[in-house]
Homo-oligomer: A and B are copies of this chain.
Amino acid sequence: MKAYKDMSRDELLSLKAALEEEYRTAEAKGLSLNMARGKPGASQLALSMPMLDAVNSTSDMKTILGNDTRNYGDLDGIGECRRFMADMMEVKKDNVIVCGNSSLNIMYDTVARSVAFGVNGSTPWCKLDQVKFLCPVPGYDRHFKITEVFGIEMINIPLYEDGPDMDLVEAYVNQDPAVKGIWCVPKYSNPTGISYSDEVVRRFANLKPAAEDFRIYWDDAYCIHHLYEDQQDNILNILEECEKAGHPDMVYIFASTSKISFPGSGISAIATSPANMKYIMDQMAVQTIGHDKINQLRHVRFFKNIDGLKEHMRKHGELLRPKFEAVLDTLEKELTGLEIGTWVRPRGGYFISFDAMPGCAKAIVGKCKDLGVVLTGAGATYPYGKDPKDSNIRIAPSFPTPEEMLEATKIFVLCVKLASIEKLLEE
C-alpha cells in the first residue's frame, strides 16, 4: 500500500471521492454501535451467573475463623477473601485490605485522605500551595478526573511500549517535592495495552522521592486479564521491589473483580505496607462500619482459589479474543502501510489504543459518531481531556459482539482514512 503522505493531491482527491461514497453507504445503514467504555459483554456476564448461587439461604455464613459475615466486623475484609485477593494481586495476605465494590473508589478515597489528612502524618495536601501528579499518557480518564477535582496539577509523561519515560519520572520525583504521586496501570495498560518491563518496575522501586509523601498509585486493574493462554505478560512485584529498595511504603496497589465477576457488584482491594495499612484502617474506621462481607464470601465460595480464578479468566479471554482480533486484524488489513495511524497489539486488558495522524483524533471520533459508532471522546486519555497532538483514540472492544466489532472497526478505518486525507489536503 502507498502511504497517504506520498500520494499526489489528485490521488488523494480521487481516493477521497471513493471513501465518501463508502461513507454515504454506511450512513444509510443507520448503525448504533458502542466502543466507548470497557464494559464486559453479555456472554462474559453469563460466566459469573453461578456465583449468585454460591451463597444462598441454606449456606453456612461463617468465615473459616467462625465470624458471621452477616453482621458487623472484619473491617479489613474476611480472612479467606484477603487471601484470595492477595493471591490474585501476587502479594501477601497481610498486605491486603479488602474493600467495597470499586477500586476506583479506593483510589479516590486514598487521594481524598491525603488531601484532607496527609499521608502517614505528613502535611495534608489541602494545606500546600502546590501538589502535582505525574500522568503517563495516554492513560485512564477516571484517574485523571480524581486528581483534577482535587486541584492537583497533572504533568504528562510519555508512555512507551515498556512503560513510562523513566528518565522523566526520576527527574520529577527525585527533584520536585510537590510531586506526590504517579498514576500507573502497569499491566495491559489502559488504553495502550502495554506492560511495564522489569527494568521499569525496578526503576520505580528505586525512586528517591523529594517528597516523603510521594506514592506510586499502581492500578493493577488487569492483573489476570489475559487474552491468550500462551502469551501472557508478567510484571515484577512492585511491593516486593519497593521493600528490597528500602521504600516499603512507597506504593499502593489497587485491584478489583469488576471485570472478573460483575462490574459494580465485585470486590476491590488495596495492597500496601503495614505502615500504610495502619494509617488507612484508622481513617476507614471513621468512614464506614465495614464492607459487604457476604459478597466477599460469595466470591471466595464461587472462585474457591487462584486456580478457579485463572480458569474463569481463561473463559473471559476466549470471549474477548475474537473481539480484539476483529479490531486488530481489520486495522492491519486496512491501514498497514498507509502511515496514517499506529497501534499496539495487546495481549490482555480491555483496550486498543490508536494513534492517528496529529490533528485527526477529534475528526475521526466525530465522523464515527455521525455514522452511529460511539467511541471514547478524543482527548479523554489525557489529563484535562486535552491531547496536545489530538491523536489518541481509545477503542473498547469488549461490549459488542465480534460481528458488531468487525462492522464498527470497518467504519472506524473508513473515518480514519477520510479524516487523514482531509488533513493532508488542508496542508
Interface, chain A (partner B; CB < 8 A)? 37, 39-40, 42, 45, 48-53, 55-57, 59, 61, 68-73, 100-102, 104-105, 108-109, 112, 115-117, 124, 126, 142, 145-146, 149-150, 258, 262-265, 283, 286-295
Contacts and interface: CB of A to CB of B under 8 A. Distances in A.
A264 B286 contact: no
Nearest to A150: B116
A288 B107 CA distance: 9
A70 B44 CA distance: 10
Given A45-B61, A149-B283, 17 more contacts: A37-B72, A50-B57, A52-B294, A53-B56, A53-B57, A56-B56, A70-B264, A70-B265, A72-B264, A101-B291, A102-B288, A102-B290, A263-B290, A264-B290, A264-B291, A265-B295, A292-B292
A150 B286 CA distance: 11
A105 B287 contact: yes
Contacts of A105: 287-288
Given A100-B100, A293-B265, A68 B45 contact: yes
A72 B293 contact: no
A71 B264 contact: yes
A295 B55 CA distance: 13
Interface centre among A39, A68, A116, A289 (most CB of B within 10 A): A289
Given A116-B112, A265-B295, A292-B264, A71 B45 contact: yes
A183 to B, nearest CB: 14
A57 B109 CA distance: 33
Among A40, A116, A294, the most chain B Cβ lie within 10 Å of the Cβ of A294
Given A45-B68, A57-B50, A264 B287 contact: no
B71 A40 contact: yes
